[in-house]
Amino acid sequence: MCPITYAGAVQLDEFRWMLPKEGGMRVPGVLFADRPLLEKMLSDRTPQQVRNAAHLPGILEASIAMPDAHWGYGLPVGGVVATDPEEGVISPGAVGYDIGCGVRLLRSRLTRAELAPLVERLADALFRNVPCGVGSSGAVRVAPRELERVLRDGAGWAVQRGFGTAGDLEHCEEGGVLEGADPDAVSQAAHQRGRGQLGTLGSGNHFLEVQEVEQVYDERAAAALGIARGEVTVMIHCGSRGLGHQVCTDHVRDVSRKLAGWGIVLPDRQLACAPLASPEAQAYVGAMRAAANFAWANRQCIADGVRRAFSETLGRGPADLGLSLVYDVAHNIAKFEHHETSAGRVRCLVHRKGATRAFPAGHPDVPAAYRAVGQPVLVPGDMGRYSYVLIGSQGAMRYAFGSTCHGAGRQMSRTQAVRDTRGRDLVQELRELGVVVRYEGRDTLREETSEAYKDVADVVRVVQGADLARPVARLKPFLVVKG
User: Position 199: which residue type?
Assistant: G
Beta bridge partners of residue 391, listed in sequence order: 376, 470
Give the β-pairing of 9-13 and 5-6: antiparallel
Give 212's strand partners. 232, 476
CB 418 within 8 A of CB 446: yes
- For residue 306, the one-letter residue type is V
Residue 469 pairs with which residues in a beta bridge?
A: 392
Spell out the residues 6+ positions from residue 82 whose beta carbon is closer than 8 angstroms to its own.
59, 60, 61, 339, 348, 349, 350, 351, 401
Sequence-ordered list of residues with C-beta below 8 angstroms from that of 27, at least 6 positions apart, any chain: 21, 54, 59, 60, 61, 62, 63
Q: Which amino acid is at 149?
A: R
- H/E stretch holding 474 reads strand 469-482
Residue closest to 310 by CA, chosen among 292, 322, 294: 322
Beta carbons within 8 Å of 300's beta carbon, 6+ residues apart: 155, 158, 159, 163, 164, 168, 176
Rounded distance, CA 332 to CA 177, Å? 14
3-state helix, strand, coil in the chain (%, to 5): 40, 25, 35
- H-assigned helices in 229-278: 241-256, 259-262
How many Cα atoms within 13 Å fall on the side-chain side of residue 266?
29
- What CA–CA distance (Å, rounded) separates 259 from 288? 20
- CB contact at 8 A, 94 and 73: no
Judge whether 31 and 7 are in contact, CB under 8 Å.
no
What is the rounded distance in angstroms from the CA atom of residue 117 to the CA atom of residue 266?
A: 57
Cβ 11 vs Cβ 3: under 8 Å:
yes
Which one is catalytic: 70, 339, 351, 406? Answer: 406
CA distances in angstroms from 415 to 96, 412, 422, listed in the order given: 21, 8, 11
Q: How far is CA 346 from the centre of its chain?
A: 25
| 239 touches 288 (CB < 8 A) | no
Active site residue 406: yes
Q: Which sequence positions are flagged as catalytic?
A: 406
